[in-house]
Structure 1
Amino acid sequence: MLDNTVLAKLEKLTAVFGEMQRALIAYSGGIDSTLVAKVAYDVLGDRALAVTAVSPSLLPEDLEEAGIQAVDIGIAHELVRTHEMDNPNYTANPINRCYFCKSELHDTLKLLALERGYPYVVDGVNADDLSDYRPGIQAAKERGARSPLAEVGITKAEVREIAKHLGLSCWDKPAQPCLSSRFPYGEEITIVKLQRVGRAEASLRRMGLRTFRVRSDGDTARIELPADQLKEFVLTTDLPTLVEKFQSFGFLYVTLDLEGFRSGKLNQVLQLATGQH
């Protein structure tokens, strides 16, 4: 059962969609946009449309899951192809890479919304996202997108609470940012590199791992796992076979990050550059 504070936020979120009449949801299949799609559908029914952008930075498994979740919700779901890989400002992987990705996404969604008669495009940005370095949020705002979760102050933890309360099976799904986030800033992003990272992460997922990243740095794959899982992973994994598999994907070296998994770890270089700790 939700406490009164979270329940009040859910009621405000419902009211936001009640005022919209029709809404197009930028739907990645992650827990945030899935909750937005669920509430939008509960309020608007067939006047809500979930749209997933398909590009090389989206894992095929995530695309499949997004479709399954949309069916479970009942919301209409469509796919559009985005072309951020054609933009050298994106593939050069600057620190504001996400700005160019979200610009492409929201330019595409805004055009679709205008063609279909949807006055609003909404995304799954939550209140916690506003305190992180997220240049993509600026791109979305510039194009008139709304972020209902952030508008009513719903945090990531509250997203999961509400999703569980509403019966969404993915309420505890680990965060899964796009594959381009696996590369250090300044390293060029290519389709080949995205594919090898995607294959590596898919292989770890098939081993039963849930929370992890495969960071790519040149020819090196660096596996990040929660710190409390490192010892068991080393003791129970057939490491030579794992290395051979990763090398078959195109990596030369395979390493394990001894610090352990931390979301947004690659942004620490920005903190060092600005003197923040």
Structure 2
Amino acid sequence: MSAPRARLEPVLRAIGPLAVAVSGGVDSLTLAALAHRVLGAEAALMVHAASPAVPADATARVREEAARGGWSLRVIEAGEFADPAYRANPVNRCFFCKTNLYGAIARVTARPMVSGANLDDLGEYRPGLDAARGHGVRHPYVEAGLDKAAVRALARDLGLGAVADLPAAPCLSSRVETGIRIEPETLAFIHAVERRVGARVAAQGDPRRAVRCRVRAAGIVVELDPASLAGLDAGARTDLAGWIAAQAPATLARGPVRFEPYRTGSAFLVGAEARA
């Protein structure tokens, strides 16, 4: 048994019957897989919220892993798009998103809720953690002292295949600059751009490459990890920029499509400063 698994299993057993909030990323899928193996289908309920902010392929991935592993899965609607505070996209938008999510989970089960937050998340701006605290959500990875690298190692130990190398994938709303209203058509556009650009740079190697389509007041910015950005020549950038401009909803700001280095959380603005 790997060290991450040995540290995490006692935490899950101590919690007992639980509900795992499963987004479709490596953290929550790995937590769900181990919870199912440790507690069994009767005691480990997986809950996934389908939403315009969640890529369809993430929902499909959750369904596939649930079917493969024999999980007990509930797919619900969190209802955040009915919340004006969320749609207004303040700097703490994630608080309203997670408040709606955990409230929706609490309506389908009285079990303790657990999330896939890990130690690395504690060093970032995560207003969703405040919402989790208000709903008594526990973070088993944090309690077991596991960071992102340990989660990926655990995914490999559990035989989850490609799940272990999934790139980081926050919700699509995280790409929209603070203060720009969250609209379903904007999120669909963002997802389409990231799929198109991702396919273009896919041959460059690392499956965990970063591709972000940022919607800003000044226009559209595509952020890429250094290797992907360097591998995209002028012709490719021109072709992609033309396609992106043609696909952009009319409600978005017009201007040249720019390609920049990837920066975590660069859609968050406080005053005139972007969070790095």
- TM interval, shorter chain, is 0.7 to 0.9
CA 1:223/1:254 → structure 2, altered by over 3 Å: closer, same or farther?
Answer: farther
Which residue type is aligned with residue 38 of structure 1? A
State whether residues 212 and 261 of structure 1, in contact with CA within 8 Å, keep that contact through their aligned partners in structure 2: yes
CA 1:30/1:204 → structure 2, altered by over 3 Å: closer, same or farther?
Answer: same
* 1:206 alignment counterpart: 199
Q: How far apart, CA to CA, are the structure 2 residues paired with 1:58 and 1:249?
A: 19
Cα deviation 1:99-142 (Å, max 9, x = unaligned)? 0000000001112112xxxx311110111111211010110111
State whether residues 200 and 249 of structure 1, in contact with CA within 8 Å, keep that contact through their aligned partners in structure 2: no
Q: Does 1:63 align with 2:55?
A: no
Q: Does 1:131 align with 2:123?
A: yes
Q: How far apart, CA to CA, are the structure 1 residues paired with 2:192 and 2:238?
A: 17
* 1:231 alignment counterpart: 230
CA 1:19/1:185 → structure 2, altered by over 3 Å: closer, same or farther?
Answer: same
Q: Does 1:257 align with 2:276?
A: no
CA drift of 1:35 comes to 1.2
Q: How far apart, CA to CA, are the structure 1 residues paired with 2:112 and 2:94?
A: 22
Q: Does 1:72 align with 2:68?
A: yes
Secondary structure of the 2:15 match is: coil
CA drift of 1:62 comes to 1.5
Query: Please, what TM-score do these two structures have when normalized by structure 2?
Result: 0.87
State whether residues 199 and 249 of structure 1, in contact with CA within 8 Å, keep that contact through their aligned partners in structure 2: no
CA drift of 1:161 comes to 1.4
* 1:157 alignment counterpart: 149
Q: How far apart, CA to CA, are the structure 2 residues paired with 1:45 and 1:72?
A: 14
Q: Does 1:147 align with 2:139?
A: yes
Gaps of 5+ in 2: 203-208
CA 1:241/1:19 → structure 2, altered by over 3 Å: closer, same or farther?
Answer: closer
Cα deviation 1:36-61 (Å, max 9, x = unaligned)? 10110110111211111011111112
Gaps of 5+ in 1: none
CA 1:190/1:204 → structure 2, altered by over 3 Å: closer, same or farther?
Answer: same
Query: Please, what TM-score do these two structures have when normalized by structure 1?
Result: 0.87
User: How well do the aligned residues superpose, as a CA RMSD in angstroms?
Assistant: 2.4
* 1:43 alignment counterpart: 38
* 2:246 alignment counterpart: 247
* 1:25 alignment counterpart: 20
* 2:215 alignment counterpart: 216
